[in-house]
Amino acid sequence: MNNSQLQPTLLRLTSIDCELLRLQTRYDVLPQKNKLADLDKKKADLDERAQQLQQMRTNLDNKLESLNAEGELVQERIILEQGRMEENSANYKEVARLSAEIETLTRRLEKLDYDSNSLQEKCQELKGVQAELEKRQRAIADMEEQLQASWQADGTKLLEEIEQLGTERQALGTTLPAEIWERYEASRAKHNGIGAAALQEGLCDGCHMSLTEGQLARVRQQIASEGVGECPCCHRMLVLP
Ligand SMILES: [Zn+2]
């Protein structure tokens, strides 16, 4: 390979490596990743709310149960007192007392029924809220599944491109003199993925520093003799565009 072939090969390598950096960054910050994180937060909020609702349901159910148990006791008492009243039907005083007692118990029973009905209504309302919440939880689970699939699809596409470019740069590398290829790879490792830069109108395209006349003359001389120069600022390999 002569020097005139060296320059375009190194420039092509540089542009492949720029593209590789871009693809890698895109892979690292795929939007699905953030969206999935947002969904996770929403999911956690909904799960917490679902737990609160379940706790409320349990409390209501317990209250309802104790109201109903009390209602049954009162009912038994009423039957008992009615029996006593029949047994003592000749004793007007006792009948009057028992009758008042039964009336109080009946009012208590009515109050218990009323409370029980309103608790049951609350239970129904709560069930509706729970069903709504479950619907939202299912919707989020569906969205999560879709995002996971699209993340994998996009990720796979990017990884394929990365692999393809990797193969191309490897093939290009083997066409370079071994010593230049090694220098390029060492420079790439040291300079955040970009090993060479073009010298454009006295500027290093890698670090954008303007070279002095003296530096320019030295770099031109390096290029003429070795095929590549070196930026005196960022120390990347310098080639002519
Ligand atoms: Zn430079």
Each residue of 19-68: pLDDT tens digit? Answer: 999 999 999 888 898 899 999 999 999 999 999 999 999 999 999 999 99
Question: Same domain, yes or no, for 143 and 43?
Answer: yes
Q: Looking at the predicted structure, is the pLDDT value of residue 3 above 70?
A: no
* Model pLDDT for residues 111-140, shown as the tens digit of each residue: 999 999 999 999 999 999 999 999 999 999
> Which residues span the domain enclosing 127?
28-154
Q: What is the average pLDDT across 150-170?
A: 94
Residue 196 DSSP class? E
Amino acid at 198: A
Q: What is the pTM of this model?
A: 0.59
User: Are residues 49 and 121 located together in one domain of the fold?
Assistant: yes
Distance 10 CA to ligand 1 centre (A): 15
Q: 237: helix, coil or strand?
A: strand
Q: How confident is the model at residue 1 (pLDDT cuts 50, 70, 90)?
A: low
Tell me: do 123 and 193 sit in the same domain. Answer: no
Q: What is the 3-state secondary structure (H, E, C) of 198-226?
A: EEECCEECCCCCECCHHHHHHHHHHHHHH
Is 169 inside a domain boundary?
Answer: no
225 and 184 part of one domain: yes
Same domain, yes or no, for 45 and 132?
yes
Confirm whether 86 is domain-assigned.
yes
What is the number of structural domains in the chain?
2
| Helices 3-28 and 92-175: angle between axes, nearest 10 degrees | 180
166 inside domain: no
Domain annotation covers residue 84 = yes
User: Pick from 85, 120, 154: which residue ends a domain?
Assistant: 154
Q: What is the CATH number of the domain that holds 43?
A: 1.10.287
Residue 173 Cα to ligand 1 midpoint, Å, equals: 22
Across the beta sheet with 203-204, the strand order is 203-204, 196-200, 237-239, 229-230
Q: 214 C-alpha to center of ligand 1: Å?
A: 15
The rounded Å distance from CA 202 to ligand 1 centre is 11
